[in-house]
A and B are shown apart, each in its own frame.
Chain A
Amino acid sequence: MPVAFDEMNGLDEEVRTAYAVLDDWLKGQSPELLGQRCQEAELLFRRIGITFAVYGEAESTERLIPFDVIPRILSSTEWDFLRRGLEQRVRAINMYLNDIYSQRAILKAGIVPEELVFQNPQFRPEMNGQRVPHNIYVHIAGIDIVRVDEKTFYVLEDNARTPSGVSYMLENREIMLRLFPDLFSRYRVAPVENYPDELLTTLKSVAPTTASADPTVVLLTPGIYNSAYFEHSFLADKLGIELVEGRDLLVKNGVVFMRTTEGPKRVDVIYRRVDDDFLDPLAFRPDTELGVPGLMSAYLGGNVTLANAVGTGVADDKAVYSYMPEIVKFYLSEEPILSNVPTWRCREPEHLSYVLDHLPELVVKIVNGSGGYGMLVGPAASKAEIATFRARLEAHPENYIAQPTLALSTCPTLVEKGIAPRHIDLRPFVLTGRDQIRIVPGGLTRVALQNGSLVVNSSQGGGTKDTWVLDR
């Protein structure tokens, strides 16, 4: 495996400019002191109540995501590049979704294979020929980005359904400001605290045209047992909007209301953190109690905005992902600014045979899985694991894509034996409103805490770091 690019030391142990001050500052800190700061951070997190429910662990259903006190730093030049690339990508995703549910020009042009769309479980026929308010499907996107060298950033995944993690971006910064005021005074770190305001502005901007001048926005959560419930209540609180569950809403004459102590109150925009399948038992899964009967009819009647729209999963599926560069070119007639990780589509026979021949060096992913479940990391897998996976791959090649094992960049991280490099990624959040696209400078940096591990998902033992974008 190639040597990983280090965010602080590059490839040649020479401290990169953005990290010079941090490096200097770190030299003046003893590991004991930093360890103590780490404990203080954990205490603060616990007090605030930031926990994360882990599926399949009965014992500890509420756990803290480990937090690392050493920040990840991006220069303003790096950020400008990422910001332009993110804007372009999200703009293309929205155009693609509008197209898929109306003209289907991209399918007719033969750029994206039809079956990838029509046989995709995330494709929603209910949305065919519908117009969503202001033609925006993805209001909130979380684009996962990795870096492999000084110049190369790859998009690893587009999260266009209900991306989570932004509460950690906000809380990590709050805690860092409390713990290390001195370090902040030596840098000019762009603030992220305006994210809730930007989000609320975005959500209000996409209210149906029939709504009042000051539309009512709510956040729809599956409830307290959902793994991201903390984030839902955190955001509702910061936005100053009601945190509702399905049973708090009702649909009457095609209009959505919430049940309040003063009687029913009209709802105009629903920031929903509930998957499509569970939104409305009359339209989707009939066995769910999380949703609101009749919500889809109110939505299709144009009386309420759902953010994100229904059916966006057909854009962030891992098989569609491999076509993103072509999608960008098709709609915008521009070269994509952000590249994809080179990807083999196992549905194509030549690609499949290459993948089968090179399993031990590849990462193979299921096309519509998330959270790091059901993937094969070739170099880390045993012979038996590879054999099992090969069988699954041969049985259903169309369910998989493969990518080279990337040497993800590393960042200095406080571990038991002091400071050591650990692999990281980055999830910035892109907000698309009626008027403009807004991106708060920063995002969630996830770190794989195990030595050599590439899996950063919090459900798989990953941690987080504060992400600093330097102001010029």
Chain B
Amino acid sequence: MLSRTADNLYWVARYVERAEYLARILEVTMRLTSLPIAYVGSRNEWESAVATAGCSKAFAASFSEANEANVMEFLAFSPQNPSSICNCIELARTNARAVRTAITSEMWDVINGAWLELRRFGNSPGSREEFMRFLRWVQEISLRFDGSAFRTMLRNDMFWFSRLGLNIERADNTARILDKKYHLLLPADAPIGGPLDYYQWAAILRSVSALTSYHWVYREGLKPWLIADLLILNPQMPRSLTSCYDNLVRYCDSIATAYGRQGPAQRQARAIRARLQNSRMEEIFQNGLHEFIEEFIADNNQLGAAVTRQYLM
């Protein structure tokens, strides 16, 4: 397969996944801001949304204040933000078009349809209700695209590269959303595990559609370490870091087997999975969750770079 084809497939999956992630961040932020201040404590949710999306610098270049209108516009529509939802869909479609015949018509229909429909939403948030509908729509697109890919693609290197993109992006997003808690400042006098904490953690679980799963798995009230366990170590949770890395190791190995040789990408994926397998929640919290996540994000980026060097250029 052409390296560029693999590159396009990899990025289509990444951009679609990223668009969904941004929609989820915005949705959970709207939910947090609709709670009375006594239940959430701080009023810097919009700022933390920008930090969680990982684009504080780019945001500061365009806006001076992180308020609802600015953040919504920046994360969802802004052409200045290379990772805005609109840009992600646009880029996904451009990449898909370049490999039009390598993806199935079902996948093309979803991504091309989304691109056409995007114009109907215009490029401003409109009312909160409209904006919420937009966010739902974005998540729907991602779900349909992922489903089409899963059900219609041949299981060959095209599928594997597309899945590598999806899982690297998803691992990054899960890590970042977990780190959101770090960016939401608790008032100094609020007790850890108190009511403020509770709503923030609940919002995070909700943002990855994991609130129900949490109760099924742990049958307990919300505890920070259990939530972190669910999103980092639990192999039952499809978007946990462990699950993402099970997939990444599997697809890297599939490629290596098919091509008859392995390289840095395979070794890096296995090293990260081994680190996750050897981690225990107690240690992670002792050494600092934020530090753990930062390190993970850097490692994950390195895998992306290794895949690119080895196959995509």
Using a CB–CB cutoff of 8 Å, the interface residues on chain A facing chain B are 47, 49, 223-224, 233-234, 236-237, 242-245, 247-248, 258-262
Contacts and interface: CB of A to CB of B under 8 A. Distances in A.
A267 to B, nearest CB: 11
A261 B100 contact: no
22 contacts: A47-B105, A49-B108, A49-B112, A223-B98, A224-B94, A233-B100, A233-B101, A236-B101, A237-B101, A244-B4, A245-B4, A247-B4, A258-B2, A259-B2, A259-B3, A259-B4, A259-B313, A260-B2, A261-B6, A261-B161, A261-B259, A262-B259
By DSSP majority rule, is chain A's interface helix, strand, loop, or mixed? mixed
B3 A260 contact: yes
B311 interface: yes
B97 interface: yes
A297 to B, nearest CB: 23
Contacts, number: 44
B1 interface: yes
Interface in B93-138: 94, 97-98, 100-101, 105, 108-109, 112
A26 to B, nearest CB: 33
Most buried by B among A49, A223, A245, A248: A49
A259 B157 CA distance: 15
Given A49-B108, A261-B6, A261-B259, A224 B97 contact: yes
Q: How large is the interface on B (under 10, 10 to 19, 20 to 34, 35 or more residues)?
A: 20 to 34
Interface in B151-202: 157, 161
Nearest to A264: B3
Contacts of B157: 261
A326 B205 CA distance: 81
A234 B1 CA distance: 17
B234 to A, nearest CB: 33
Contact of B3 (A224, A234, A243, A261): A261
A272 to B, nearest CB: 16
A62 B273 CA distance: 45
Contacts of B100: 49, 233
A222 B163 CA distance: 28
A260 B4 CA distance: 8
Nearest to B98: A224
6 interchain residue pairs of minimum CB distance? A237-B101, A259-B3, A261-B311, A261-B6, A261-B1, A233-B100
Contacts of B2: 242, 244, 248, 258-261
Contacts of A260: 1-3
A234 B97 CA distance: 12
A47 B312 CA distance: 30
